[in-house]
């Protein structure tokens, strides 16, 4: 479901009493959702869903009603205590902050709206009790510096994962997640029509926490194009981008996460957990390491201008400042050209294919002298297997099957010979 559909589903559950705490809380939560819907210029569906979901959970699990916490100091303090007990600020600082922000906005857009009318204010006001009791900041000691040891780098981690993918869909999910650096919800809700051509690659339209943006992906281009060619509904702009391989229907959160986690396990990537948040952090780390400016990093990742988060990546991974200081002291600073990672054009079919692959992903054209030599050796092994001395067809086909398993690209040499493949399957059985 899209985030809009998820919000509407949660509203239906509130109406039927499946979700929410007390009856008064459910009515207030629906009023809250109505207010957010009327303020679409300020609250995207991503933001709407997050605020409504957090407020609903607080209504269900906190020891007090949300409506009481808006005006009763004791109830408000109990609500804050519940947040700190459930989501320790040292272990999950952002989640803790998200809940404090959500319930305060709940108060502002429900009771605060009525207060604004009474006080003839132009904007909704935060109820005084909530403004006093619920702070939305993080501790001053909190400094979320990214850890380089937990990042995923293209050559060391992403490429090995891509080589272990069994479906073009999974490879596209991994490559796009790293290249795009989108938030979890932004990635999961993508539609086929969100992907468009761009002179430097492919542009992906996102609608997230800070509004709409359209960053460009480069490394992921051939993988995404390959998946769009294989997509069962690749010509339908409304179809979910990450879908079931046969029907084109949307799949669950867990299924989408498995598209990345399974290849990571096969590639033995163990130094960090594979999530969209980790991909997003790794993407920001790579861009900062290439001295992309903070402003460009903020635009690409959807952070507000002057973001503290973006500045941490620039501080940890960027070396532009160090170079400038070294130059100021008269040192001869050599400019390091980054290793190219962008896709290359195949000389035969002229389509973009991954630079790190020995052969074109579209037509199989060897892209290096080493690849040509390997193909010749593989072909000779194939011929030797077919021309066994004893003439035993079964033995020859078994040997042929082993070679085809070791060198999947040689399936193009065998072609679509159904009889050969069926006979080999029977021999295996």
Reported as a single tens digit per residue, the pLDDT across 52-98 is 999 999 999 999 999 999 999 999 999 999 999 998 887 778 889 99
With contact defined as beta carbons under 8 Å apart, do 413 and 364 qualify? no
pLDDT of residue 334: 63
pLDDT at 329 over 50: no
pLDDT at 268 over 80: yes
Q: Cα–chain-centroid distance for residue 324? A: 34
Contacts of 416 (CB under 8 A, 6+ apart): none
Arithmetic mean of pLDDT, 216-237: 94
The C-alpha atoms of residue 149 and residue 27 are separated, in whole angstroms, by: 47
Chain mean pLDDT for the chain? 84
The C-alpha atoms of residue 83 and residue 428 are separated, in whole angstroms, by: 59
pLDDT at 131 over 90: yes
Arithmetic mean of pLDDT, 380-394: 57
pLDDT of residue 427: 45
pLDDT at 375 over 90: no
- The CATH number of 149-328, from 3.10.110.10, 3.60.10.10, 1.10.10.60, 1.10.443.10, is 1.10.443.10
pLDDT of residue 184: 87
Question: Which residue carries 């004893």 as its tokens?
Answer: 390
Sort strands 206-208 and 195-198 into parallel, antiparallel or unpaired.
unpaired
pLDDT of residue 319: 65
Helices (H) and strands (E) in the chain, counts: 21, 7
As given in the structure block, the two tokens for residue 309 are: 């988060």
Domain boundaries, the chain: 3-133, 149-328, 360-428
Arithmetic mean of pLDDT, 221-226: 93
| In 97-245, beta strands by DSSP E | 195-198, 201-204, 206-208, 211-213, 216-217
Cα–Cα nearest to 226, from 161, 165, 180 = 165
Sort strands 206-208 and 344-345 into parallel, antiparallel or unpaired.
unpaired
Arithmetic mean of pLDDT, 126-152: 88
pLDDT at 323 over 80: no
R_g of the chain, CA atoms, integer Å: 27
pLDDT at 114 over 90: no
């Amino acid at each position: 479901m899209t985030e809009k559909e998820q919000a509407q589903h949660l509203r239906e559950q509130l109406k039927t009493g499946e979700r929410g705490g007390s009856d008064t809380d459910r009515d207030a939560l629906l009023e809250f959702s109505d207010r957010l819907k009327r303020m679409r210029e300020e609250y995207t569906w991503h933001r709407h869903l997050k605020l409504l979901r957090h407020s609903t959970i607080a209504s269900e699990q906190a020891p007090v009603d949300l409506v009481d916490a808006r005006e009763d100091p004791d109830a408000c303090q109990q609500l804050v205590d519940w947040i700190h007990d459930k989501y320790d600020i040292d272990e999950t600082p952002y989640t803790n902050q998200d809940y404090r922000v959500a319930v305060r906005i709940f108060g502002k857009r429900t009771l605060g709206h009525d207060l604004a009318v009474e006080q003839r204010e132009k904007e909704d006001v935060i109820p005084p009790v909530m403004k006093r009791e619920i702070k939305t900041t993080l501790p001053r000691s909190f400094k979320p510096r990214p850890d380089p040891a937990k990042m995923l780098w293209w050559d060391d981690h992403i490429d090995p994962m891509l080589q272990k993918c069994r479906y073009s869909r999974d490879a596209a999910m991994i490559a796009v997640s790293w290249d795009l650096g989108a938030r979890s919800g932004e990635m999961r809700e993508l539609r086929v029509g969100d992907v468009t051509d761009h002179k430097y690659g492919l542009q992906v339209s996102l609608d997230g926490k800070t509004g709409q943006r359209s960053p460009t992906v480069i490394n992921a281009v051939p993988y995404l194009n390959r998946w769009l060619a294989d997509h069962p509904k690749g010509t339908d702009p409304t179809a979910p981008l990450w879908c079931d391989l046969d029907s084109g229907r949307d799949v669950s959160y867990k299924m989408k996460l498995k598209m990345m986690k399974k290849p990571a396990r096969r590639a033995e990537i163990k130094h960090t957990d594979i999530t969209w948040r980790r991909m997003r952090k790794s993407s920001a780390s790579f861009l900062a390491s290439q001295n992309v400016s903070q402003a460009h990093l903020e635009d690409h990742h959807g952070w507000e201008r002057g973001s503290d988060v973006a500045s941490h990546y620039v501080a940890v991974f960027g070396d532009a400042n160090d170079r400038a200081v070294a130059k100021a002291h008269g040192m001869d600073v050599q400019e390091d050209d980054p290793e190219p990672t962008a896709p290359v054009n195949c000389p035969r079919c002229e389509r973009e294919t991954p630079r790190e692959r020995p052969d074109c992903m579209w037509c199989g054209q060897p892209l290096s002298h080493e690849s040509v030599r390997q193909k010749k050796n593989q072909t000779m092994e194939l011929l030797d297997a077919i021309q066994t001395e004893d003439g035993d067809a079964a033995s020859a086909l078994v040997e042929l099957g082993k070679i085809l398993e070791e060198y999947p690209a040689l399936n193009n040499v065998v072609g679509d010979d159904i009889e050969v493949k069926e006979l080999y399957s029977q021999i295996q059985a």
